Amino acid sequence: MQACPTESLYCTHDMADTGDAEFVASADQMARLVLAEALEYLPYESHPVTTPTEAVYEGSKLAQRVCGVSIVRAGESMEHVLREWVPSAVVGKILIQRDEATAEPFFYFDKLPANIHECSVVLLDPMCATGGSACAAIECLAARGVKPANIVFANIVSCPEGLAFVAEKFPDVHIVTGVVDNGLNSQKYIVPGLGDYGDRYYFTA
């Protein structure tokens, strides 16, 4: 695994006073920055381009089709940003919910492209607390033939415990995160954190 925390992307302010629209705007900006970095870990191939001056520029293009896989529902907030960067990206979904009593992930269902094993996969989940949901999603992808080395986990807020758990189980997965917070509290929530990302993004808090 190559973890690439981009802590300079993190903007600190009083999150308790952040309005709904401001939260979404900030979240989208963070997602753009994180995903721009995440795409650097996908394979590229040479692609010469003839310019209007008839000169040939040795450019590059993605070597494989990109599949964004969001962990429902917070991960869905990052889908439109991925498609801004890669309009041709296909999108899959995995529903995993955490048991609040045990903090263990519970798999419900997935909807993934049949040829996902031929794609470069960007796993989307803005929060990485225990790392359990991310690992359950990676296991689901591996069962469909996706090699962990072909997965980039794009994440906005993480903590040392979650990153270590994912790295131990799947050392070949690339991780790009916006910020590494202090750790987990007794309820296994990220601290200082920002609350429930999905509820704040979709105005259901």
Q: What is the pLDDT of residue 106?
A: 84
The question of whether 98 is a catalytic residue gets the answer: yes
Query: Residue 11: is its pLDDT beyond 70?
Result: no
Q: Give the pLDDT of residue 94.
A: 96
Q: Catalytic: which of 20, 99, 172, 199?
A: 199
For 18-68, what is each residue's pLDDT tens digit? Answer: 788 899 999 999 999 999 999 999 999 999 999 999 999 999 999 999 999
State the catalytic residue, choosing from 32, 73, 83, 98: 98
- Continuous segment of H or E residues that includes residue 156: strand 151-158
What predicted TM-score, i.e. pTM, was given to this entire model? 0.87
- pLDDT score recorded for residue 25: 93
CA dihedral 7, 185, 130, 37 (to 10 degrees): -10
- Strand-pairing partners, residue 179, are 157
**Confidence class of residue 137 from pLDDT cuts 50, 70 and 90?**
very high
- Fold held by 3-10+19-201: Rossmann fold (3.40.50)
Domain extent listing, the chain = 3-10+19-201
CB neighbour burial string for 79-102, b if at least 16 within 10 angstroms, e if fewer? bebbbebbeebbbbbbebebeeee
pLDDT of amino acid 9: 44
DSSP 74-136: GGGGGHHHHHHH-TT-EEEEEEEEE-TTT--EEEEEEE--TTGGGSEEEEE-SEESSSHHHHH
Q: Please tell me the distance from the alpha carbon of residue 24 to that of residue 194, in angstroms, as a whole number.
A: 13
| 199 annotated active-site | yes
pLDDT for 81 equals: 96
Q: Which one is catalytic: 20, 99, 102, 172?
A: 102
158 touches 192 (CB < 8 A): no
Confidence at 2, pLDDT banded by 50, 70, 90:
very low
Query: Considering only CA atoms, which of 121, 102, 110, 128 is closest in space to residue 197?
Result: 128
- Span 59-106, pLDDT tens digits: 999 999 999 999 998 999 999 999 999 999 999 999 998 777 777 888
Report pLDDT for 181: 95
Residue 204 a catalytic site member: no
Task: Tell me whether residue 125 is one of the annotated catalytic residues.
Answer: no
Question: What pLDDT, on the 0 to 100 scale, is given for residue 63?
Answer: 92
* Residue 15: predicted pLDDT: 55
What pLDDT, on a 0 to 100 scale, did the predictor assign at position 1? 44
Which of 18, 65, 73, 196 is catalytic? The answer is 196
| Residue predicted with more confidence, 5 or 151 | 151
Tokens of 35: 């995903």
- Cα distances (angstroms) measured from residue 47 to each of 56, 67, 88, 173, 180: 10, 21, 17, 26, 36
pLDDT at 3: 47
Name residue 202's amino acid: Y
Residue 24: the pLDDT is 93
How many CB atoms lie under 10 A from the CB of residue 22?
Answer: 11
